[in-house]
């Protein structure tokens, strides 16, 4: 059975109450509003049924409006990973990895050329609630893309497979671009330059690294090797939710060639590969000890595409499984 985060379920209910629905109604649901503090997820069909019942009461556009109210922190571990993306469009790569590892409720596919980036949401609306949820997803996408870049980037076209509602005002307000219905795919399209916009966090970090490189070049100095290791470690940790980064990717971020970075790391008696593994171990141990993240979520945050692979690696590092480590340490 497919499941949706109870936090998203709660968010929809609370927004519906804010728009005037009687809170008592939500206590009659299969998973009542009052019980949500006790559950982490609800069956997907209950989530879609909730969308349908609210839409019937509040009318067209609720899914769009609730999407506009979403915040990055509402997405839990996935949202946490978005904050460390280097480019806006990476949120879809991380989402694809996350849902492949932990859930099969969403499937994203990105198609890019030199001018445009089209994100396909491959989730057919076998019931009306799925279509409404797809609307909320794209509406929230606009908010998230603007939030992580701290800009007003907006899509240039949004397409849905389902038919149009009677009132399109909320759609026009949220997307600020043509919204098409009865299309072949659910998709949201951005200009390629907007899709590749540096995130606010990446801009700050990368600029700091580049300033150091410029000082090295102009002043004939060389930044301490320990500082380089520290900088690279931070970039690796940020990149892990997208999968294990290569040395070319990291060296580009800090304005070095791969050969120079390898030499700098060697002077601290560590290789790039060893550094990645040590960061994976450090991050996973910290999350197991100090958070309630599931083992699957920790596998995602440390770059693994399968929980079983994470379990094997962790056992090799510590001679304990993640569950044993959490219980005995």
Q: How confident is the model at residue 73 (pLDDT cuts 50, 70, 90)?
A: confident
Q: What mean pLDDT value characterizes the chain?
A: 90
Residue 103 pLDDT exceeds 80: no
Q: What is the pLDDT of residue 126?
A: 87
- Structure tokens given for 182: 């009865």
Q: What is the pLDDT of residue 226?
A: 74
Q: What percent of the chain is predicted at pLDDT more than 90? A: 69
Higher pLDDT, 75 or 220: 75
Tell me the per-residue pLDDT of 272-310, one tens digit each, with 9 for 90 and over. 999 999 999 999 999 999 999 999 999 999 999 999 999
Q: What is the pLDDT of residue 49?
A: 96
**Exposed/middle/buried for 258, CB within 10 Å: 0-12, 13-18, 19+?**
middle
Model pTM?
0.83
Give domain 275-328's CATH number out of 3.65.10.10, 1.10.10.60, 3.40.50.620, 3.20.20.10: 1.10.10.60
Cα 309 to Cα 107, 151, 299, 320: the distances in Å are 22, 38, 8, 14
C-alpha span between 262 and 252 (Å, rounded): 13
Higher pLDDT, 255 or 196: 196
Q: What is the pLDDT of residue 123?
A: 86
Residues present in the chain in total: 329
DSSP code for 60: T
Please report, for the chain, the start and end positions of each structural domain, with discontinuous segments joined by +: 60-195, 200-270, 275-328
CB-based burial, 218-228: b 16+ in 10 Å, e otherwise:
eeeeeeebeeb
């Amino acid at each position: 059975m497919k499941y949706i985060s109870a936090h998203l379920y709660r968010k929809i209910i609370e927004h519906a109450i804010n728009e005037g629905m009687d809170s008592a109604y939500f206590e009659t649901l299969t998973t009542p509003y009052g019980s949500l503090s006790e559950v982490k997820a609800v069956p997907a069909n209950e989530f879609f049924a909730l969308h349908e019942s609210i839409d019937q009461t509040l009318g067209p556009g609720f899914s769009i409006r609730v999407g506009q109210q979403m915040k990055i922190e509402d997405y839990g571990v996935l949202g946490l990973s978005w904050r460390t993306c280097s480019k806006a469009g990476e949120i879809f790569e991380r989402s694809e990895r996350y849902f492949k590892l932990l859930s099969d409720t969403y499937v994203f596919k990105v198609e890019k050329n030199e001018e445009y980036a089209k994100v396909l949401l491959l989730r057919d609306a076998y019931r009306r609630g799925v279509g409404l949820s797809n609307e909320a997803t794209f509406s929230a996408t606009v908010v998230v893309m603007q939030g992580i870049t701290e800009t007003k980037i907006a899509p240039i076209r949004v397409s849905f497979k389902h038919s149009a509602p009677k009132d399109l005002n909320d759609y026009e307000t949220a997307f600020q671009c043509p919204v098409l219905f009865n299309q072949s795919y659910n998709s949201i399209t951005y200009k390629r330059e907007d899709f590749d916009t540096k995130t606010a966090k990446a801009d700050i970090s990368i600029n700091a690294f580049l300033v150091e490189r410029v000082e090295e070049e102009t002043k004939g100095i060389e930044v301490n090797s320990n500082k380089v290791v520290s900088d690279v470690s931070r970039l690796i940790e940020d990149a892990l939710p997208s999968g294990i980064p290569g040395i070319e990717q990291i060296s580009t971020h800090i304005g070095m060639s791969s050969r120079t970075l390898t030499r700098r790391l060697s002077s601290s008696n560590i290789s790039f590969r060893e550094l990645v593994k040590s960061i994976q171990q450090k991050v996973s141990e910290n999350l197991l000890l100090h958070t309630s993240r599931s083992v699957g979520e920790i596998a995602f945050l440390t770059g693994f595409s399968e929980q079983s692979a994470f379990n094997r690696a962790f056992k090799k590092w510590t001679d304990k499984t993640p569950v044993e480590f959490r219980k005995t340490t």
